[in-house]
A and B are shown apart, each in its own frame.
Chain A
Amino acid sequence: QQQVKQSPQSLIVQKGGISIINCAYENTAFDYFPWYQQFPGKGPALLIAIRPDVSEKKEGRFTISFNKSAKQFSLHIMDSQPGDSATYFCAASMKGAQKLVFGQGTRLTINP
């Protein structure tokens, strides 16, 4: 119940295409869903986050779509660029909790 399942494990997209990474969860007490981006040799960094009272949040080319009934959320990267090549992690936490539960990660490669 504490797990967040992320797919795919790796993804290759052409420059200019749309990258889509999916996450699913079971625990309906989760109320905060962030995405982190990690470049090689660096620690992860917060990219964008959403709460379940909205179905979509957009920041530039990055959008989180949230489906509460299906217990799924996804990251969409529009007009994907080679500089977006990185590992992406979804995560979730419960209200009042002090910790995040992370997905398994997706290695995204954008081909020029």
Chain B
Amino acid sequence: DVKVTQSSRYLVKRTGEKVFLECVQDMDHENMFWYRQDPGLGLRLIYFSYDVKMKEKGDIPEGYSVSREKKERFSLILESASTNQTSMYLCASSFRGPYEQYFGPGTRLTVT
């Protein structure tokens, strides 16, 4: 059974703080993704990675960076959190390509 875990379910941070969101998958998947989910906007891709140390920008990368030092772990970094980054953040993984993505439960981040 594929499992994608995210480090926190809820997180409250202050404006300007550096924020780390971590995601771990246990199925040796090649691809990992970070999305943010906002009402009425669906899921928007922030960054994805198709191999260790490889990353590609998604549709809304501004204000975010990522790190993938190990195959099973993909981190999302908010260098200086802002209130407009308050959102639900979802991590996903897939064996290869965009197909059959497995999602974690999400982290609801509030920036005050």
Which A residues form the contact surface with B (CB < 8 A)?
2, 6, 9, 32, 34, 41-46, 49, 89, 91, 93, 97-105
Contacts and interface: CB of A to CB of B under 8 A. Distances in A.
Interface residues of B, number: 27
Nearest to A104: B42
Contacts of A91: 43
Chain B contact residues: helix, strand, loop or mixed: strand
Nearest to B92: A43
Interface string B88-109: 0010100001111111111000
Given A43-B104, A43-B106, A89-B42, A100 B90 contact: no
Nearest to A45: B103
Contacts of B31: 98
A46 B43 CA distance: 14
Chain A contact residues: helix, strand, loop or mixed: loop
Contacts, number: 63
Contacts of A9: 40
B43 A99 contact: no
Given A43-B92, A45-B102, 5 more contacts: A43-B104, A89-B43, A98-B98, A99-B58, A105-B42
Contacts of A44: 43, 90, 101, 103
